[in-house]
Amino acid sequence: MRIGHGLDVHRVSDDPSRSLWLGLVEILDAPGLVGHSDADVATHALCDALLGAANLGDLGRHFPDTDPQFEGSSSRRLLEETVALVRATGLRTISADLTIIAERPKLSSYMSRMSDELSAVVGALVTVKATTAEGLGALGRVEGIGASAVALLEDLS
């Protein structure tokens, strides 16, 4: 068994045309996040957890923000490619746990759908939770959104 941890934070965008994506779900009526891709912090944290458990580095190593081919990319694509990389090493995801840290928007009505979408791509249960920063720091001032994830993988070899 192998365990990996991922963490990601993105700043809230001033661009009203940016959509907010979290856990492969579009969150309506909320400002988007700044990023080279769609800036889905939840999915990025999950990718990093999977890559870490597989000893494959991090998201930036495989999908650098300096590479134009990933500009505006869907995080679904990044997660699909991450899952393929992990499987190619002979590992299988057992489960993952994801926590989104955001004062706003309120996410309770989206979390079940996020879990369903992420689980379908990963091929294992991905639980999704949300919490606030209790008004503390940049996340508490709604300057950004963060996420933390843990993934458990099994070596099939």
- Using one digit for the tens of pLDDT, what is the confidence trace for 89-107? 999 999 999 999 999 999 9
Question: Which of the four pLDDT bands, split at 50, 70 and 90, describes residue 68?
Answer: confident
What pLDDT shows up at residue 134?
96
Domain that holds residue 87: 2-155
| Residue 50 to residue 56: CA distance in whole angstroms | 9
Q: What angle do CA 34, 70, 119 make, to 5 degrees?
A: 80
What pLDDT shows up at residue 41?
98
Q: What CATH number did the domain enclosing 99 receive?
A: 3.30.1330.50
Neighbouring residues of 25: CB distance < 8 A, sequence distance ≥ 6: 110, 113, 114, 117
Domain count, the chain: 1
What mean pLDDT is reported for the chain?
96
- Using one digit for the tens of pLDDT, what is the confidence trace for 19-60? 999 999 999 999 999 999 999 999 999 999 999 999 999 999
- 131: tokens are 């919490």
